[in-house]
Amino acid sequence: MNQEKLLDIITDGQKFDGAYNIRINGKVYDRKTNEFVNIESMKQGSGLEIYVKDNTKGQTIGIPVLLTSGDITEIVLNHFHIGKDCDITIIAGCGIDNCSSCTSQHDGIHTFDVGENSKVKYIERHYGDGEGSGKRIMNPKTIVNLQKNSKLEMVTTQIQGVDETKRETIANIVDGANLVVTEKVQTSDNQKATSIFDVSLNGVDSKAKLVSRVVAKDQSSQDFISDVKGNNKCYAHVECDAIIVNNAKVASTPKIVANHPDASLVHEATIGKIAGEQLMKLLSLGLDEKQAEEVIISGFLR
């Protein structure tokens, strides 16, 4: 697969109209900054310092990563410094096209410091491909620090082709701040995926909503682990919905701890196979069983 097509998949065809940094095979391939957003290489280690000025609105920032050679293992640290009263979108993600017998691995650690009253939408897509026998491994870690009345909305998707992944989110939420995470993960063959959330609601009227929608096929396995702590007057909702196909396994371990009398915390989990009546309806419309399953899964992960 050529680099342009791989980039198009992980960015969902999004064209960057603001600042961006494109990383390919461990090196900066292209970078653009502007009067609102400055992107610098870290002085120590591998990664970026991204600075967004106060009152920046309407900017879309891109930081995609591509690995198209085998035998690459990298750890990249990106630190977002978001000013006050901002409203921006960040498009990230990693695509690995591994045609070798060696492992390709990308570990990305993103730290978000979101200023007061700012809104950030973070979109991350992971995709693996390649005819080689080498593994494709991605381990994203996100550290979130939300200031007063700020909001971070994360939409993370693992499309296909990732052999192993550990997805970790650690968040500190203060007065009036809001974290919303929607993750969609699909595994097949013998792939493994683990999602871990560690969220501390420390501020008055702080909020968190964590929604995980997963599909596990064949002999793949997935684990969902969440630990949400309500340390003040706050609200949190944790939800894990999973579809199992063939001999896959899914485990959900949601933990909520109320350390304050006005903490309102909810968790729910649903795991099961595709409902028979859904299949029957689509089969009656002329689809075969495989086509019907794909239609149901596509709608579930949308």
User: Is residue 219 a part of any domain in this protein?
Assistant: yes
Position 154 scores a pLDDT of 98
- The answer to whether residue 283 sits within a structural domain is no
Count of structural domains, the chain: 1
Note whether residue 234 is domain-resident: yes
Residue whose structure tokens are 């990106």:
78
**Residue range(s) defining the domain that contains residue 114:** 3-275
**Res. 298 pLDDT band, cuts 50 70 90:** confident
| β-sheet bridge partners, residue 52 | 37, 82
Which residue from 178, 68, 156 is spatially nearest to 108, judged by alpha carbons? Answer: 156
pLDDT, position 275: 65
Note whether residue 85 is domain-resident: yes
Strands 20-24 and 27-32: antiparallel
pLDDT, averaged across the chain: 92
The H or E element that residue 291 is part of is helix 289-301
Among candidate residues 117, 120, 169, 172, the one with its CA nearest the CA of residue 146:
172
CB 25 within 8 A of CB 72: yes
The answer as to whether 112 is a domain residue is yes
Residue 299, domain member (yes or no): no
Q: 298 in a domain, yes or no?
A: no
CB atoms within 10 A of CB 217: 19
| Assigned domain for 51 exists | yes
Categorize the per-residue pLDDT at 288 as very low, low, confident or very high, splitting at 50, 70 and 90. Answer: confident
Q: Say what the pTM is.
A: 0.92
What is the 8-class DSSP label of residue 274? P
DSSP bridge pairs for 40: 49
Question: Residue 117 is encoded by which pair of tokens?
Answer: 């009253």
pLDDT (tens digit per residue) in 98-133: 999 999 999 999 999 999 999 999 999 999 999 888
Share of the chain above pLDDT 90, in %: 79
pLDDT tens-digit readout, 30-48? 999 999 999 999 988 899 9
How confident is residue 282, by pLDDT bands cut at 50, 70 and 90? low
